[in-house]
Amino acid sequence: MTWMVRCLVVLTCSILTTPAAGQPVAASNRVDLRFGWKPGIEISVTAIRTRTRSAEQNVSRTSTSRYTLRVDADGENLRIRFTDPEFIAGDAPASAPSQDQSRIMERLADLMPDFLVSPDGEFVGIHDLPGFQVKFRAFLAEVMPPDVDARFVEQMQSLLTNDEFLNARASEEWNTIVGAWVGSSFEVGVPAEFVRVEPIEVFSGNEIRMNYAFAAGAEFACRRGNVERRCTHLAMRSMADPEDTKRMIDELRAKLLPEEAYSVPDFNSLEIDNKLRVTTEPDGLIPHAYSLTKIIRGTLATPDGDLPFEQIDATEVRYVYR
């Protein structure tokens, strides 16, 4: 979410949801969100990711990753560090990734870049971006099938390791739990919706229309360690304009080498729907949990006619403070 969208949130966001646990402890009709991360914070993070895909057959895979998030001082900024990554395949054989997929996920877990944020909670950028780009290019070359054209590998490396794209991807989780909410003041029970045309990170100069809805819930009692705190639920839903999404896919196909264009599916229709729910402490924006569901559905053009498909990526993240 860009800083301009965040400004719109500060001006217009509202609360729709009620707490899933605990009772409201504040009679105020507003929830004010302030950034309060400090050096020395150390968090054990567990993320459970499930991908369910349905087309000609249904496939579901679940994996768990764990890591430690540390906050250190770095000049005038804060350095958000990711250490001790661990990847765990799904417990059930039917949901477990293949050996190759597990190896790729383990390598990805080890490629979580450190990044910098300002004292006010703004994302600054990846720490040592050139060094991370070298490691990520090597990873992409390693996981590409050996029979893929070298020019295609080089093109994918260029697309996926440019400065703008990498910084956008690295900022995604930070903006999800903290960055997009800093400084917001929500009126409980008043919904906010708006439409915005946003840049596509992979393709400089290209934009897509997004529809946003924001919500937040009344404060309720929660605990961090042995100390009672106040929490709230924040919610956001974003939906891509279907026609703009189709145009984006067509432009991707046009940018690929002709002999590799087949690698991008031919969509007749495509919908993208993202739903986010964050449980956090308003005073400090200290996260306790979040859930994010990304839904892609549509129809693929095949020789036998349109084939309906749906892919759901669900992420559940929990934070335990040391």
The predicted pLDDT at position 201 comes to 54
Given a cut of 80, whether residue 4 has pLDDT beyond it is no
Q: What is the pLDDT of residue 27?
A: 45
Residue-wise pLDDT for 82-102, tens only, equals 998 888 866 544 444 455 555
Give the pLDDT of residue 48.
95
Average pLDDT over residues 234-258: 77
Q: Is 284 left (phi over 0), alpha (psi -120 to 50) or beta?
A: left
Q: 300: pLDDT confidence band, cut at 50, 70 and 90?
A: confident
pLDDT tens figures, 112-157: 899 999 999 999 999 999 999 998 888 888 877 777 777 877 888 8
Cβ–Cβ < 8 Å for 141, 153: yes
**Domain enclosing residue 313, as ranges:** 3-321
pLDDT in tens, 202-243: 555 567 888 888 888 989 999 998 899 999 999 999 998 877
DSSP β-ladder status, 58-74 and 77-89:
antiparallel
pLDDT in tens, 46-87: 999 999 988 767 788 898 989 999 999 999 999 999 998 888
Q: Which of 197-201, 205-209, 240-244, 276-280 has the lowest mean pLDDT?
A: 197-201
Q: How many domains does the chain have?
A: 1
How far is CA 56 from its chain centroid?
A: 28
pLDDT the model gives residue 141: 80
The yes-or-no verdict on residue 290 having pLDDT over 70 is yes
Cα–Cα distance between 287 and 231 in angstroms, integer? 9
Residue 302 half-sphere exposure, CB side, CA atoms within 13 Å?
Answer: 11
Q: What is the pTM of this model?
A: 0.76
Band of residue 259 on the pLDDT scale cut at 50, 70, 90: low
Which of 41-45, 149-153, 295-299 is predicted with the least confidence, judged by mean pLDDT? 149-153
Q: How far apart are CA 287 and CA 71, in angstroms?
A: 14
CATH of the domain at 219: 2.30.230
Q: Residue 182 — pLDDT band, cuts 50, 70, 90?
A: very high
